[in-house]
Amino acid sequence: MAGDPREPFQRRLSKLIQERQSWVSHWKELNEYILPRRGRFLGSALKTQAQPNRGEKINQKIIDSEATRSLGILVSGLMSGVTSPARKWFQLRTPDREMMEFGPVKEWLTSVEDSMYEIFAESNFYQVLPYVYEEMAVYGTGAMMQFNDYENVVRFQAFSTGEYCIAQDYTYSVNAIYREAQMTVEQVAKMYGLENCSQSIRDRYSKADYDGWVEIVHLVEPNDSEGGDFWGDDLKTMYGSNRAQDKPWRMVCYEKAGNDGKLLSVGGFDNFPIYCPRWHLEIPNVYGRSPGMNALGDIKQLQDQQKKKGQAIAKMVNPPMVADPAMKNQRMTTLPGDVTFADTSTAGGFKPAYQVQPRLNEFIMDMEDVRRRIQSAFFADVFLAISNMAGIQPRNE
């Protein structure tokens, strides 16, 4: 094949990253105050944010976790109210209402519904979906891919903000995703076949460097997008068994840093296998806006209030002290029950520099008002109210 088959995809990836760049600083701030362990910003100035297995403490800016708790209530409410694994939450119908009254049709639709519910329950669908809800509620956009699975029919994987870029068609529906992922040498070799890997990975694998990290680009897009002419005779021969080049959607995987001009794999789909819900889409934006964005100002205010409240209490309990210059080399203490010897016959002595008497009740009332605004932004108050009604009156299902 003439040229590097990765080149058109690298070119489009660069354009999509540039288009996404204005969102990154906002997403990073949401990371710091709500979900510090989410977001993987590969290929950007936030490179350290993308390192796997980051075990260090990264939630230094969270003093009050009200936003994270409210987010948890929102996600739980969506899971129980919209996609509950404990009850049926969708029903299949035909466009023709009269046909729905035909017994065999109703029986067939019911059978398909039951099969879908069973497949969802056997797969990891209900384990992955909360992550999608979290991403959508905090960053405005969620992403999940459906894979075929020989054991459980389907398997799902959620992607985190920053590791992917998306594009949309003329109906403003997402129709392409470019994802930068990190996999170990062993994972790449086992998933794509060592023969399809670059010489660099083959060398690392032969030296038993199984756990070293490799950057992979994974994309799904219409088969007539930029790079649609990348099918050469050798690729058509290689992937001719499933006629990937004839599918309406193509999936391509390759090593980002590979220099062998090879692709790890090429596949095709009859339907777009990516789900990218956006909380609130302002056309023509590609990425959505979220409750987390709406609440960010209140969240930062609450952290500042908690910090200042702690400082006020600390100054009440352990105030700054002043002492007579004559006591400079003497032993002084503020421990309970301990004694500091000072001359109290003059204006000197050992005493607080100033009296701190914060009006804590008013302080706490103002903080509670901020908490309620955060809860309202995440609809936590609504879901809690619905939950409290459960024991009083039946809920509509």
- pLDDT tens sequence across 350-360: 777 677 777 77
pLDDT digits (tens, 9 = 90+) for 60-81: 889 999 999 999 999 999 999 8
**In 3-state terms, the chain is what percent helix, strand and coil (to 5)?**
45, 15, 40
The β-bridge relationship of strands 153-159 and 164-168 is: unpaired
Q: What pLDDT is stored for residue 226 in this prediction?
A: 54
Q: What pLDDT is stored for residue 125 in this prediction?
A: 95
Mean pLDDT of the chain: 84
SS3 (DSSP) at 7: helix
pTM attached to this predicted model: 0.83
Place of tokens 């509670």: 368
Taking the C-alpha atoms of residue 362 and residue 381, their distance in angstroms, rounded to an integer, is 23
Q: What pLDDT is stored for residue 240 in this prediction?
A: 45
Q: How far is CA 227 from CA 40, 109, 167, 223, 252, in A?
A: 27, 40, 15, 8, 11
Taking the alpha carbons of 366, 368, 372, 375 in that order, is the dihedral positive or negative? positive
Q: How far is CA 329 from CA 96, 322, 333, 341, in A?
A: 94, 14, 13, 12
Taking the C-alpha atoms of residue 296 and residue 78, their distance in angstroms, rounded to an integer, is 21
Taking the C-alpha atoms of residue 278 and residue 288, their distance in angstroms, rounded to an integer, is 5
Tell me 289's DSSP state.
B
Q: Kindly give the interhelix angle for 185-192 and 199-206, rounded to the nearest 10 degrees.
A: 110
Report, as ranges of residue numbers, the positions in the chain whose pLDDT lies below 50. Answer: 1, 43-49, 236-241, 392-397
Find out whether 79 and 129 touch, Cβ atoms under 8 Å. yes
Q: What pLDDT is stored for residue 232 in this prediction?
A: 53
Q: What pLDDT is stored for residue 111 in this prediction?
A: 95
Tokens describing residue 220 = 């799904």
Q: What pLDDT is stored for residue 377 in this prediction?
A: 95
Taking the alpha carbons of 74, 76, 79, 80 in that order, is the dihedral positive or negative? negative
